[in-house]
């Protein structure tokens, strides 16, 4: 059974190029083609490809954001493709990850596929997922907090604008993002979620609650040092004593 590859690029001709070379090479089956970041994240989660050929610069949600969005659930092997982005190149070099520079020829492309196959075929070294994760951590440190977060509403994937999140609730292995429109689930720990939200706006007020300060209506003293946090839509949350320092000095 041949491994399956997903092609991600916002430009039709660039997708065509990758597809041509993949077909010519013959070692992979094409699992799908995604024309933007949201589509790519949805496709990765739905199609579970073995390899993603990922364009780094895309409008809206770029390649790194796509990986960040799917990382909590699954990280496929990734072959990065970029035209020009010195910052991204430094990040790849630092993690010794392979990448393709546009334009590339068939020979260079085949070498990149060779390496990808080594990860995928036992008893190869396997994909070093750790390196990919440290790449994302490194990239995240140098970029603003993501403006959108990919969540699951029912069986659909949706992009939730970070600023519209009113509060976040822990739910087993997931966190639930509450917005005015409804709620969605993200496979993520509370700590993980907190690291993706702008601390100027979001504070943890309870073991299982993060709140967006913009949506707080008022704070009322409650029993035994706890504080009742009243949101504008009427939601009542508790600010527990242990997290009190989080909202002090606001």
Number of other CB atoms surrounding residue 220 within 10 Å: 11
Residue 101 touches another protein, criterion: CB under 8 A: yes
Integer Cα distance of 231 and 79 in angstroms: 44
Residue 107 touches another protein, criterion: CB under 8 A: no
Structure tokens at 34: 């995604």
Residue 90 C-beta: closest distance to another protein, Å = 15
Query: Of 6, 7, 14, 177, which lies in the binding site for another protein, with binding defined by CB under 8 A?
Result: 14
77 exposed, middle or buried (CB, 10 Å; 0-12, 13-18, 19+)? Answer: buried
Burial pattern 91-122, b for ≥16 Cβ within 10 A else e, equals bbeebebbbbeeebeeeebeebbeebbebbee
Residue 12 touches another protein, criterion: CB under 8 A: yes
Query: Of 2, 26, 103, 191, which lies in the binding site for another protein, with binding defined by CB under 8 A?
Result: 103
Residue 199 touches another protein, criterion: CB under 8 A: no
Query: Of 25, 46, 48, 83, which lies in the binding site for another protein, with binding defined by CB under 8 A?
Result: 83
> In this complex, which beta carbon is closest to another protein, that of residue 149 or of residue 205?
149
Integer Cα distance of 201 and 211 in angstroms: 8
Residue 35 touches another protein, criterion: CB under 8 A: yes
Residues that bind another protein (rule: CB under 8 A) add up to a total of 21
Residue 10 touches another protein, criterion: CB under 8 A: yes
Integer Cα distance of 33 and 81 in angstroms: 14
Residue 234 touches another protein, criterion: CB under 8 A: no
> In this complex, which beta carbon is closest to another protein, that of residue 99 or of residue 174?
99
> 80 Cβ partners below 8 Å, 6+ apart?
54, 56, 63, 88, 92, 97, 98, 99, 100
Q: For the window 36-75, what string marks contact with another protein as x by the rule CB under 8 A? A: x--------------------x-xx---------------
Integer Cα distance of 176 and 183 in angstroms: 6
Give the DSSP H or E segment for 78.
strand 77-82
> In this complex, which beta carbon is closest to another protein, that of residue 80 or of residue 243?
80
Cβ–Cβ under 8 Å, residues 132 and 74: no
Residues in 115-174 that interact with another protein by CB under 8 A: none
Residue 69 C-beta: closest distance to another protein, Å = 17
Residue 82 C-beta: closest distance to another protein, Å = 9
* CA dihedral for 48, 36, 91, 84, sign (positive or negative): positive
Residue 84 touches another protein, criterion: CB under 8 A: yes
**Contact set with another protein (CB under 8 A):** 10-14, 16-17, 20, 35-36, 57, 59-60, 83-85, 101-105
């Amino acid at each position: 059974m041949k491994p399956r590859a997903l092609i991600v690029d916002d430009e039709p001709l660039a997708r065509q190029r990758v597809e041509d070379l993949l077909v010519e090479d013959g070692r992979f089956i094409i699992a799908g083609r995604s024309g933007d970041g949201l589509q790519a994240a949805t496709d990765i989660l739905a199609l579970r490809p073995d390899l993603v050929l990922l364009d780094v610069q895309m409008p809206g949600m770029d390649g790194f954001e796509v990986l960040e969005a799917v990382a909590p659930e699954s990280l496929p092997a990734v072959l990065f493709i970029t035209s020009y982005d010195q910052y991204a190149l430094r990040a790849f070099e630092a993690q010794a990850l392979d990448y393709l520079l546009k334009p590339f020829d068939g020979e260079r492309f085949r070498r990149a596929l060779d390496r990808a196959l080594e990860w995928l075929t036992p008893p190869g070294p396997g994909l070093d997922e750790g390196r990919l994760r440290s790449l994302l951590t490194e990239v995240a440190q140098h970029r603003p907090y993501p403006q959108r977060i990919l969540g699951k509403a029912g069986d659909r994937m949706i992009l939730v604008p970070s600023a519209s999140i009113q509060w976040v609730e822990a739910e087993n292995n997931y966190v639930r993002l509450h917005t005015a429109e409804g709620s969605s689930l993200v496979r993520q720990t509370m700590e993980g979620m907190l690291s993706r939200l702008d601390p100027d706006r979001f504070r943890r007020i309870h073991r299982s609650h993060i709140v967006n300060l913009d949506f707080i209506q008022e704070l009322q003293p409650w029993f035994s040092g706890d504080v009742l946090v009243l949101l504008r839509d009427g939601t009542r949350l508790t600010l527990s004593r242990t997290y009190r320092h989080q909202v002090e000095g606001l």
